[in-house]
Amino acid sequence: MKRVKTVWLLFIAAAVLLSTSSCSVFQIGQKDGPGPSTSAEPEKTAEPSPTATPEPTKYTVTFDLNGGELVSGEAVQIVEDGGAAKAPEVKNGNLELSWDGDFTNVKGDVTVTAKWNKVAMSTTDLAEYVQKRTVTVNVTTIGGGRSAGSGLFIDDAGTIVTNYHVIESATSLSVQVSDGGSYNVKNILAFSQVYDLAILQIDISGNDFLTIYDGNVKTGEQVYAVGSSLGTLTGSFTAGIVSSTSRAVGLIDCIQMDAAISSGNSGGPLVNIYGEVVGINAFSYIGGENLNLAIKTSNLDKLDRSKSYTANDYKEWYITETSRSYSPYDGSDYYYSTVNRYDIVTGSYCLYSYDADLDEYYDGYYDMSEHYVYYYNVDEYDEYVAYLKSIGFVYQDHEVFSGGTSYYYLNEKDGILVDLFVSSDNLNLYIWVTLEY
């Protein structure tokens, strides 16, 4: 009996041992059931990531063109720290370019500004430069005649400055440019007989042009004149010096110089050694020894640009005006005048008109002193003087003569002098209206 009990106990112990072993296998193998025994995989350790390369610091370099024109390249560039920007190609007429800052070792955002410096041109370079920007103005006049003068481009949109006396009696206008092309005048943007200047426009764009000098020329300064001498010799180039910076023809401020000009040069540019326009060639005194005058460019600011004319409208306007002015000697002879202005001044039609100092010519043009005579009753004197004052005339002076007394009133803006001559018998009042006093 004891032997059987011992065997039973051994059996139970063996069963317990088997049960324990089976449980251990399940836990180690992580199997949901019986299977071969396996070893556990070791956990993987994360490998260290490579160190990231930092982005280089970048800066903005801005090129301020300061009035110049970008030809190629970029005006705003992004450059790495310590790097260099590449200067863009920029132009500004014939000025020389330099930059006012460093952009070769950039250490921060930076703006560099263009500096434009005048460079005196050689005579040959100057001639080519100005000739390319000078034009010939061809005119057909009221009487069917033909004439020609000169002009110059003042912007890249086909705007041209010339003398008014070049275009004054025109019924048609065309412009020949330096490459031989011909263009009809599209508009007359402004004109003044008082200042003998006109501004024309042709249908062209991107043309080369001249810069107007905004300073004061000096006596003895070197100057050059360009224009179509005799109306056919295009691009004629002459040199001289400024003889005087202060000459007046009527109300026009002029420069006297000895650069040779002739008929046909009127309206062309007078330039300095930098190719800047200092005057508009206008008058050549035939009786003098190389005495020539150019209108100062400051007179351009005095033009009224509030109204423009097409070439045809100007033709109609001019025909109307000249039909009211006549010569006491020849009724078919047109006078260079805008008589409606004087009709407004006087309130009466012109009794007769005449040119003063007919023996004095400037570039084939009268000395710009033309008289228009009106007749009134002396009783109208006070009323007429009040009228003159109301439209901008100012009393200047008076002179006593044997036959009566002259009273002078000037409208400086329009360049009109009115001489009221009261006869000594107090019966008549004669009025002389002088153009471009």
Average pLDDT over residues 325-341: 41
Q: How far apart, in whole angstroms, are the C-alpha atoms of residue 99 and residue 113?
A: 6
Please, which pLDDT band fits residue 291 given cuts at 50, 70 and 90?
confident
User: What integer pLDDT is reported at residue 122 of this predicted model?
Assistant: 94
Could you tell me which CATH number the domain at 326-435 has? 3.30.160
The pLDDT of residue 391: 76
**pLDDT band at residue 319 using 50, 70 and 90 as cut-offs:** confident
Q: What is the pLDDT of residue 332?
A: 44
Weakest-pLDDT range from 214-228, 232-246, 366-380: 366-380
Cβ contacts of residue 24 below 8 Å, gap of 6+?
none
In this structure, of 7-11, 79-83, 325-329, the range with the lowest mean pLDDT score is 325-329
Burial 284-311 (b: 16+ CB within 10 A, else e): bbeeeeebbbbbbbebbebbeeeebbeb
Q: Which of 265, 246, 264, 266 is CA-nearest to residue 256? A: 246
* pLDDT score for 4: 47
pLDDT value, residue 326:
42
**Spatial CA neighbour of 320 closest among 162, 88, 142:** 142
What was the pLDDT predicted at 141? Answer: 82
- Name the catalytic one among 147, 150, 165, 263: 165
Query: Are domains 120-323 and 326-435 of this chain identical in fold?
Result: no
pLDDT at 11 over 70: no
By percentage, how much of the chain surpasses pLDDT 70?
69
> Which position has the token pair 């000739």?
131
Place 98 in a pLDDT band, splitting at 50, 70 and 90: very high
Does residue 337 have a pLDDT over 50? no
pLDDT of residue 66: 95
The answer to which of 200-204, 232-236, 340-344, 387-391 has the lowest mean pLDDT is 340-344
User: Is there a catalytic annotation at residue 196?
Assistant: yes
pLDDT band (50, 70, 90) for residue 379: confident
Residue 115 has pLDDT above 80, yes or no: yes
User: Is pLDDT of 360 > 60?
Assistant: no
With residue 158 as reference, give the H or E element that holds it.
none
- Is it the case that residue 396 has pLDDT exceeding 70? yes
Catalytic residue of the set 169, 192, 196, 325: 196
What is the value of pTM for the model shown?
Answer: 0.61
Q: How distant, in Å, are the alpha carbons of 25, 69, 88, 101, 185 from that of 73?
A: 79, 11, 4, 18, 37
pLDDT score at 17:
46
Q: Is the pLDDT of residue 269 over 90?
A: yes
| Residue 119 main-chain phi, psi, to 5 deg | -130, 120
Per the listing, tokens 């018998």 go with 425
Q: Which residue has the tokens 């061809």?
A: 138
* pLDDT greater than 50 at residue 378: yes
Write out pLDDT tens, residues 147-198. 899 999 999 999 999 999 899 888 889 999 998 899 999 999 999 877 889 9
CA–CA separation, 357 and 368 (whole Å): 9
Q: Are 227 and 236 in contact (CB under 8 A)?
A: yes
Mean pLDDT of 267-278: 96
Q: Check whether 352 has a pLDDT greater than 70.
A: no
Predicted pLDDT at 73: 95
Instruction: Name which residue leads in pLDDT, 122 or 52.
Output: 122
- Model confidence at 206, in pLDDT bands (50, 70, 90)? very high
> What is the model's pLDDT at position 205?
92
- 166: nearest Cα among 146, 144, 186, 184: 146
pLDDT score for 26? 41
Catalytic (active site) residue 398: no
Degrees to nearest 5, angle at CA 198 with 192 and 202: 150
Structure token digits, residue 177:
């440019």
Q: 47-61, 157-171, 244-258, 317-331: which has the highest mean pLDDT? A: 157-171
pLDDT of 31 > 60? The answer is: no
Reduced to 3 states, what is the DSSP secondary structure of residue 136?
Answer: strand
Q: Which of 144 and 11 is assigned the larger pLDDT?
A: 144
Mean pLDDT of the chain: 78
Q: What is the pLDDT of residue 359?
A: 38
Most confidently predicted of 49-58, 179-188, 303-312, 417-426? 179-188
Query: Contacts by 308-316 with C-beta closer than 8 Å and gap 24+?
Result: 308/187, 308/188, 308/189, 308/190, 309/187, 309/188, 310/186, 310/187, 310/188, 311/170, 311/172, 311/173, 311/184, 311/185, 311/186, 311/187, 311/188, 314/170, 314/188, 315/170, 315/171, 315/172
Torsion of CA 126, 131, 132, 137, to 10 degrees: 150
Q: Which of 178, 263, 266, 337 is the catalytic position?
A: 266
pLDDT score, position 38? 54
Tell me, yes or no, if 100 is annotated catalytic.
no
pLDDT at position 152 is 97
Strand pairing class (96-99; 89-91)? unpaired
> So what's the architecture of 120-323 in CATH?
Beta Barrel (2.40)
User: How many angstroms separate the Cα of 376 from the Cα of each of 275, 326, 379, 407?
Assistant: 53, 20, 8, 15
The tokens for 424 are 């000594």
Domain positions in the chain are: 58-117, 120-323, 326-435
Residue type, 235: G
